[in-house]
Structure formats: C-alpha cells, structure tokens
C-alpha cells in the first residue's frame, strides 16, 4: 500500500512538472518572437553598416580628416586598367571608436568596378576577421548601382549572402537579404564637395546621406529558429545615425505567428516596438 501511494505521488509530481513545462512552452512563442525581432534588427544593422563603411571609404580614401584616417589604414590596389580596384580598410587588431560611436577592428576587403556614383558600378565586400562592437561579421555584400529611377533618385540592388553575426557570447545569427536601396537625400554632396568656406565637406558630405530600403530577407536566430522578413514600410537609413530610424517590417519565425517590428518616427535611438497580436513591447536594439 505504501509503495502504491508513493507511485501515485510520483505520478502526481511528474504530472505537475509536465504541466509546468507545458505552460513554459505556451509562453515560449512570445519570447521566441521577441528574440527573433532582436536578432533580425541586429543583423540588419550590422550589414547596413558594411555598406556605410565601403561607400564612405571609397570616397574618402585619400583624405586625412576622414573617419578612416583616425581608425584605419586604406590600401588601394589596381586590378585592371584602371578598374577594378581592390580596397582594403584595415582597422587594426585593437578596437577603434569611430565617429558613429561603434568600435571596429579587423579588415574590410572589397572590389569596386567603377566609382560608386556611376551607373553599373558594383561593390563586392567581404569582411576579414572583422568585428563591430565585438560582434564578428562574416559573409558577402554586393551592391550594384542601377542608375536613376523615375523620380531621379539613384538606387542600388544590395544582396547579402551567407551572412553570419557571432555575438560576444558566441551566439550565432545568420542572415541573407535581397534589397533595393534608394538614395533619397544627400546625393548632391560628397566628401570632396566644397562648403560655404570653399573647404571640402569631408565626412559631413557623406553623413548627410539618407537611404530608403525595401525588399525581403531570411535568417536564423541565436536559438536556431528560421525566420523570414518582408519590409512593409521602407526602412530609413541615415548615415549620421547608427540605428534605423523609421520603417516597419513583418517578421515570421518558423512555427510562430507573425510579428511587426516598427523602428519609429525618425528619431535616432536604439528603440523599436514589437507587436504580436495584442502583445506589444519596446525592445532595445543591440550592436
């Protein structure tokens, strides 16, 4: 009788644990969806930053007061006559803080087939042991200048292939995307544009640039959950801000419901809002 009582007690305990685990599992989708939103936003930010670095360095390679002269050594190798160029931006082995507040080390190596602003030019970039805020960035980013659209704005096809972000804790996020990047502000100025004092604008001629991003993407979260992304409202990328400042995406992790990630109304901050049905939370962007 005592053994029977113990068996019944054990079954009750097991049932309690099972129910508890099931409750945790029921709550898990919300947690997973927030994690997926955070991971996607991190990957998006890191690979947009690769574009900023390649585009900026291609215009400012020979200027002493550029962001890169403070943090990096730029080497230009002519592979053709004269194109293509291979440009290496070497930030060194120790972190260096750029004007945008991000710490970088390692190298960016890319080939460019013509000047960035010329229609048809292609920039193919591969990081080499490259870190941003101690996040290791790997993969290939290819940007092709499509020329002007019907509004007279230069636009670019941008593809990220085999993208990987490894966090300082060793967590791995994968990312691939196919985007259209439209230059909506700042196109008339550049590093060598003269200001009112007849001086080169320098970095200010680059950081006044604003792009709108449309397209889709996919990846895997740090918890190994596959997800897809579709931009519902164009993302606004300002080169004077390290964060995406506007735009809305719909993100769908495999096996979980859709959620909406809203980057805000133009303010430069590290906040975004995640909405999942009636659930709503403000998250802090990493990186």
pLDDT tens profile 53-89: 877 666 554 444 444 557 888 888 888 888 898 989 8
Residue 138 reports pLDDT greater than 60: yes
What pLDDT does residue 60 have?
A: 53
What pLDDT does residue 52 have?
A: 79
Tell me which DSSP letter residue 102 carries.
Answer: -
Mean pLDDT of 190-194: 79
Residue 265 reports pLDDT greater than 50: yes
What is the phi/psi pair of residue 240, to 5°?
-95, 10
Residues 6+ apart with CB under 8 A from 75: 87, 88, 90
Residue 13 banded pLDDT, cuts 50, 70, 90:
very low
Residue 240 reports pLDDT greater than 90: no
Mean pLDDT of 108-133: 94
**Verdict on whether the full-model pTM lies above 0.85:** no
Residue 35 banded pLDDT, cuts 50, 70, 90:
confident
Counting other chains too, the contacts that 156-163 makes at CB distance below 8 Å and 24 or more residues apart are: 156/180, 156/181, 156/182, 156/183, 157/181, 158/51, 158/215, 160/47, 160/217, 162/138, 163/43, 163/47, 163/137, 163/138, 163/139, 163/219
What pLDDT does residue 277 have?
A: 85
């Amino acid at each position: 009788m005592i053994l029977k009582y113990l068996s019944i007690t054990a079954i009750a305990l097991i049932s309690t644990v099972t129910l508890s685990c099931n409750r945790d599992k029921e709550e898990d989708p919300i947690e997973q969806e927030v994690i997926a939103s955070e991971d996607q936003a991190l990957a998006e930010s890191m690979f947009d930053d690769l574009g900023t670095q390649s585009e900026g360095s291609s215009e400012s390679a020979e200027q002493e007061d550029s962001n890169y002269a403070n943090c990096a050594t730029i080497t230009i190798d002519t592979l053709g006559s004269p194109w293509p160029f291979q440009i290496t931006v070497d930030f060194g082995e120790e972190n260096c803080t750029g004007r945008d507040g991000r710490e970088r080390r390692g190298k960016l190596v890319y080939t460019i087939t013509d000047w960035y602003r010329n229609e048809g030019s292609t920039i193919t970039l591969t990081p080499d042991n490259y870190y941003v805020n101690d996040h290791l960035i790997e993969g290939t980013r290819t940007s092709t200048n499509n020329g002007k659209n019907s509004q007279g704005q230069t636009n670019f096809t941008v593809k990220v292939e085999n993208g990987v972000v490894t966090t300082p804790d060793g967590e791995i996020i994968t990312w691939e995307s196919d985007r259209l990047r439209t230059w909506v502000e700042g196109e008339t100025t550049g590093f060598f544009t003269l200001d009112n004092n007849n001086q080169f604008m320098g970095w200010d001629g680059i950081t006044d640039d604003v792009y709108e991003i449309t397209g889709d993407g996919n990846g895997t979260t740090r918890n190994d959950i596959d997800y897809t992304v579709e931009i519902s409202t164009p993302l606004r990328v300002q080169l004077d801000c390290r964060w995406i400042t506007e735009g809305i995406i719909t993100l769908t992790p495999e096996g979980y419901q859709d959620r909406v990630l809203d980057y805000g109304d133009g303010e430069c901050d590290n906040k975004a809002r995640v909405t999942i049905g009636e659930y709503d939370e403000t998250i802090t962007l990493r990186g």
